[in-house]
């Protein structure tokens, strides 16, 4: 069985769930994969100019294995408008034919990683083949206005037409379970080989490092971070990643901002933390989030200090997980987290149980 994969991120971006899925699929089947890069599914905004700047963490998958072909459909950023499919469809004729030619060679699985007009068109053209929608985010929540309404409508259309839906979080599973009979909870995971390449050794120091690695955007809770910095004036709050939503005021001297880096370097920096942070706001956008950094922190035997949001809300009480309910309890929770005893054997067992391969194998997609 071959695979046509409509990705929410470009192939050239750093390896995420979509990349791990196609690697897993090829590893299990030995078959060819046709990867379709995303195109604009909303109106452009001024923030896109900032996001288009290259960073050190981009271009991580520029090389392509021989079994993978990448299509870049492109298109005008008019998808929320009625008739956009007709306009862009004329631009996609060559790519649509390539997909059909690819699928005609063998039975093919169509996986949709992001709702779009192109996804609906391919569902129609490949209607005799099995299909999957991998709901790995609440995609409409990232949009506003007409773009949000249009994407939500197309997402529902896709959900009604596919054979199986995967949901990366409990909130998404509950939502799609109300309209589809086969919705499977498939959490995010981790790259075991990347974790094992990073050795960790508990650093004995009176001054602790509370660290975060990831994008800092609208969902990032700066108020919570500032509360932690104030409660721990002798410790360092180390934030690593691109900043799309800067803090409103001046940060405390013990809050350090480091530039984005590649995944291997990021894991190495994580290993220097005394505690891993996940300071996300609790709102509609984060309600469906299952943060990959949670798995990586745990696999590195770090205590995880998190706000109460999304899938993290279900992890209160788990070993090594410390959830704050508000800024007022940050100080106490942080102190308790630092008493956590790191255990290499426990961390390895956790890592082995939560690999991407284990996740996808357990989902029962392939015979």
Q: What is the pLDDT of residues 276-297, one digit of tens each?
A: 999 999 999 999 999 999 999 9
Neighbours of 210 (CB within 10 A): 26
Q: Band of the pLDDT at 201, cuts 50, 70, 90?
A: low
Q: Band of the pLDDT at 83, cuts 50, 70, 90?
A: confident
Give residue 48's pLDDT: 58
- Name the token pair of 184: 């499977």
Question: What does CATH list as the number for 192-352?
Answer: 3.40.50.2000
Is residue 49 pLDDT above 60, yes or no? no
Is residue 46 pLDDT above 90, yes or no? no
Residue ranges, comma separated, of all CATH 3.40.50.2000 domains in the chain are 2-186, 192-352
Say what the pTM is. 0.93
Q: Among 19-23, 40-44, 324-328, which stretch is predicted with the lowest mean pLDDT?
A: 40-44
Contact partners, residue 166, CB within 8 Å, separation at least 6 = 132, 133, 134, 135, 136, 183, 184, 185, 186, 363
Give residue 54's pLDDT: 45
Instruction: Pick the closest to residue 119 from 142, 147, 85 (CA basis).
Output: 85
Q: Residues of the chain with pLDDT > 70: what percent?
A: 94
**Nearest 5°: phi and psi at 245?**
-130, 90
Homologous superfamily, domain 2-186: Glycogen Phosphorylase B; (3.40.50.2000)
Give residue 179's pLDDT: 96
Q: What is the mean pLDDT of residues 73-91?
A: 88
Q: Band of the pLDDT at 43, cuts 50, 70, 90?
A: confident
Assess contact for 111 and 21: CB atoms under 8 A. yes
């Amino acid at each position: 069985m071959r695979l046509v994969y409509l990705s929410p991120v470009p192939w050239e971006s750093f390896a995420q769930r979509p990349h791990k899925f196609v690697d897993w699929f090829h590893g299990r089947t030995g078959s060819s994969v046709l990867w379709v890069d995303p195109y604009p599914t909303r109106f452009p905004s001024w923030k896109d100019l900032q996001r288009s700047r290259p960073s050190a963490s981009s271009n991580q998958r520029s090389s392509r294995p021989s079994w993978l072909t990448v299509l870049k459909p492109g298109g005008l950023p008019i998808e929320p408008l009625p008739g956009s499919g007709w306009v862009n469809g004329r631009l996609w004729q060559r790519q649509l034919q390539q997909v059909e030619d690819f699928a005609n060679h063998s039975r093919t699985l169509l996986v949709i990683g992001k709702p779009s007009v192109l996804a609906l068109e391919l569902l129609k053209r490949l209607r005799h083949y099995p299909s999957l929608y991998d709901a790995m985010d609440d995609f409409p929540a990232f949009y506003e206005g007409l773009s949000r309404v249009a994407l939500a409508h197309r997402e529902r259309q896709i959900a009604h037409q596919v054979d199986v839906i995967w949901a990366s979080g409990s909130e998404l599973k509950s939502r799609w379970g109300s309209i589809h009979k086969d919705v499977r909870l498939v959490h995010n995971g981790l790259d075991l080989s990347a974790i094992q390449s990073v050795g960790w050794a508990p650093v004995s120091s009176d001054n602790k490092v509370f660290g975060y690695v990831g994008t800092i955007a609208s969902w990032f809770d700066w108020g919570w971070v500032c509360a932690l910095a104030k409660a721990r004036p002798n410790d360092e709050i180390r934030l690593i990643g691109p900043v799309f939503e800067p803090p409103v005021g001046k940060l405390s001297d013990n809050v350090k901002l480091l530039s984005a880096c590649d995944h291997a370097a990021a894991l190495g920096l994580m290993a220097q933390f005394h505690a891993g942070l996940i300071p996300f706001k609790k709102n509609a956008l984060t309600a469906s989030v299952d943060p990959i950094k949670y798995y990586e922190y745990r696999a590195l035997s770090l205590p995880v200090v998190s706000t109460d949001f999304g899938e993290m809300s279900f992890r209160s009480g788990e070993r090594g997980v410390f959830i704050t309910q508000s800024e007022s309890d940050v100080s106490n929770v942080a102190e308790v987290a630092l008493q956590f005893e790191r255990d290499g054997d426990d961390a390895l067992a956790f890592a082995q149980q939560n690999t991407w391969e284990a996740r996808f194998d357990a989902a029962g997609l392939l015979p």
